[in-house]
Amino acid sequence: MELSGTSEKTVTARAAGLVACTRCTRAWPIETQVCGRCGAKLVSRDENSLQRVWALWIVGLMCYVPANIYPMLRTQQLFQVDESTIIGGAVDLAHYGAFGIATIILVASVVIPLGKFWAIAFLAVSVRSGRGFASHHRLLMYEVVEYIGRWSMIDIFVVAILSALVQLQGLASITPGPAAFFFALSVIFTMLSAQAFDPRMIWDAQADDDEAL
Amino acid sequence: MRYVYCMADVSHVSRGPLEGLIVCPVCDATYQLQRPKNGERAVCGRCHKVLIAPRRKAGVQIIAVAVAVVVLIIAASVFPFLSISAAGRSNAVSILDAALTFTEGPMLVLALLTAGFIIFVPLLRMLLTMYVLIPVVLDRPPARHAIRAFRLSEAMRPWSMAEIFALGCAVALVKVADLATVSFGPAFWMFGVLVVLVIVQDGFLCKWSVWNSLEHPKRQ
């Protein structure tokens, strides 16, 4: 990339004796506590960031387990009651031939959450050890995680729409199962975990590597 | 569209007034502030984060879109959204019904969260945006607590999930299609327009320009 050479010349705010506001990009002397423009708390590097990332990550993972064990939907058709889990529901859809939708559900509720758990853990570990990918790749990973995490909520919304809509007295009805509750919590906690991550640490790890060479 | 890459100028960073600096929030690189012209973008040279992206008349456009979105959200939540019928029985629901479907025990929390994500968070964000931007566009001093309002609006950005709900509808429709006949209410189309507007508006808003005009109301 044509700009790869600029990284050597880059001056970080910390190196210049400044602290940056991550909300409004204003620079302040390093001892400043609160941004005078937008009122955000100023920290040059959030040392406790990783602790919060891991704590929220663990809660998210703990919620993800019951989300897959308990049923997500209870479908009542005449006298027959079906309870389906997330994966079970997707498999049923594939049986009916709705492969596209089965794929969306599987991607949104299995691939994305698991990928997110892996990616956050990888970032948190690699920032500490300084090994792994180059900063650009790690940053890309961080941005993808931040952007895509919200889309896992789609399953909750599908359950909400189905349960509200399919209420045909005696004929068919759909009610949400306990998994919906845990799944929503899992998505919220992983989103918070990703938000707690301080991306500036990605670049510090890289800068330390450059100095060591 | 032309991209302006910010370049670090080491000698100025330590001496010049801090007001003339801009720091990338993602990678902490510090730059001498160079305001891009309308339609241009200032991009961080190290991590490529867009730092400033001003547009001509962005303020007026954003306010116009916000007004439209507020009207649409209120209308789309109240009018019937989808209706279903099978063997002579039918049921019509509004978005509010869909959001408040989880009502037993701990599910109530889920109902409130869902309603929040798809109705109240987007609605509140639009109202806050109007509150902050209207005085700025009219060259008036910022509204009281405008800074706090904009901060809240930015904090809520990831939790505004109207577009995700829209895709959820598509999935739900396919799931129900073989069970019963589904028809669309007026709210369905309103919600479709709303999603497009929300996405368009996100592209217009330049956060740096807003913070800057709140700091220096006259020197826009």
Q: Which of B19, B28, B214 sits opposite A13 (nearest CB)?
A: B28
Same structural domain, B100 and B141: yes
Number of domains in chain B: 2
Among the candidates B13, B32, B52, a domain finishes at B52
Could you tell me how far CA B135 lies from the centroid of its own chain? 19
Same domain, B44 and B62: no
The average confidence (pLDDT) of chain A is 80
Q: What is the pLDDT of residue A56?
A: 93
**Same-domain status, B205 and B147:** yes
- DSSP per-residue string spanning chain A: -TTGGGGGT--BTTTTTEEE-TTT--EEETT--B-TTT-PBP-SS-TTHHHHHHHHHHHHHHHHHHHHHS-SEEEEETTEEEEE-HHHHHHHHHHHT-HHHHHHHHIIIIIHHHHHHHHHHHHHHHHHH--SS-HHHHHHHHHHHHHHGGGGGHHHHHHHHHHHH-EETTTEEEEE-HHHHHHHHHHHHHHHHHHH--THHHHHHHHHHHHH-
- Which chain B residues are within 8 Å of A98, Cβ to Cβ? 174-175
Local confidence band at A171 (pLDDT 50, 70, 90 cut-offs): confident
Please determine, for residue A4, whether its predicted confidence score (pLDDT) is greater than 70: no
Contacts of A10 (CB under 8 A, 6+ apart): B8, B27, B29, B45, B46
Does B220 reside within a domain? Answer: no
Contacts of B161 in chain A (CB under 8 A): 150, 153, 157
Which residues in chain B come in under a pLDDT of 70? 1-16, 102-106, 217-220
- Minimal CA–CA distance to B44: which of A86, A200, A198? A200
Contact B45 A139 (CB under 8 A): no
- For A70-121, the pLDDT digits (tens) are 988 888 877 788 888 888 888 887 887 778 778 878 887 888 889 899 989 9
Tell me the per-residue pLDDT of A6-42, one tens digit each, with 9 for 90 and over: 444 677 777 777 888 888 888 888 778 888 788 778 8
* Separation between Cα atoms, residue A16 and residue A44, nearest integer Å: 11
A164–B21 CB contact, under 8 Å? no
Report how far residue A10's alpha carbon sits from residue B27's, in angstroms, rounded to the nearest whole number: 10
Q: What secondary structure letter does DSSP report for B29?
A: B
Does residue B9 share a domain with residue B114?
A: no
Q: Report the predicted TM-score, pTM, of the whole model to 2 decimal places.
A: 0.83
Decide if B80 is inside a domain: yes
- Identify the pLDDT of residue A31: 79
CA distance B93 to B96: 8
Same domain, B14 and B123: no
The reply to whether B208 falls in a domain is yes
Chain B interface includes A129 (CB < 8 A): no
| Banded model confidence at residue A2, pLDDT cuts 50, 70, 90 | very low
Torsion of CA A78, A84, A89, A91, to 10 degrees: -100
pLDDT attached to residue B93 = 79
Q: Quote the Cα angle for B54-B210-B63, to 5°.
A: 85
CA–CA gap between residue A190 and residue A57 (Å, rounded)? 6
Other CB atoms within a 10 A radius of the CB of residue A128 amount to 11
- Contact between B211 and A154 using a beta-carbon 8 Å cutoff: no
Question: Same structural domain for residues B195 and B117?
Answer: yes
Cβ contacts from A onto B, under 8 A: 217
| Nearest residue to B5 via CA among A34, A91, A3 | A3
Question: Where do the structural domains in chain A lie, given as residue ranges?
Answer: 1-44, 46-212
Closest CA of chain A from B68, distance in Å: 24
Q: Are residues B43 and B73 in the same domain?
A: no
CB contact under 8 A, B28 and A154: no
B17 and B90 assigned to the same domain:
no
CB atoms < 10 A from the CB of A65, how many?
Answer: 11
What chain A residue is nearest to B111 in terms of C-alpha separation? A160
Whether B152 is covered by a domain: the verdict is yes
Residue B200 CB: number of other CB atoms within 10 A?
13
Q: Which amino acid is at B63?
A: I
User: Mind listing the pLDDT tens digit for each residue in A182-199?
Assistant: 999 999 999 999 888 888
Chain A nearest-CA distance from B18, in A, is 6
- State residue A3's pLDDT score: 39
- Same domain for B137 and B116: yes
Q: Which residues span the domain enclosing B38?
A: 3-52
Nearest Cβ partner for B174 among A3, A10, A101: A101
Do B46 and B65 share a domain, yes or no? no
Q: How far is A139 from chain B (nearest CA, A)?
A: 8
Q: A1: pLDDT confidence band, cut at 50, 70 and 90?
A: very low
**Within-domain flag for B150:** yes
Q: Give the ipTM.
A: 0.80
| Closest Cβ opposite residue B176 in set A17, A166, A204 | A166
B78 & B44 share domain = no
Whether residue B160 sits in one domain with residue B135: yes
C-beta atoms of A166 and B84 within 8 A? yes
d(CA B82, CA B177): 12
Please indicate, yes or no, if residue B146 is contained in any of the structural domains.
yes
Asked if residue B68 belongs to a domain, the reply is yes
Give the residue from A3, A7, A10, A188 with the most B CB atoms within 10 Å of its CB, the best one to mutate: A10
pLDDT at A206: 65
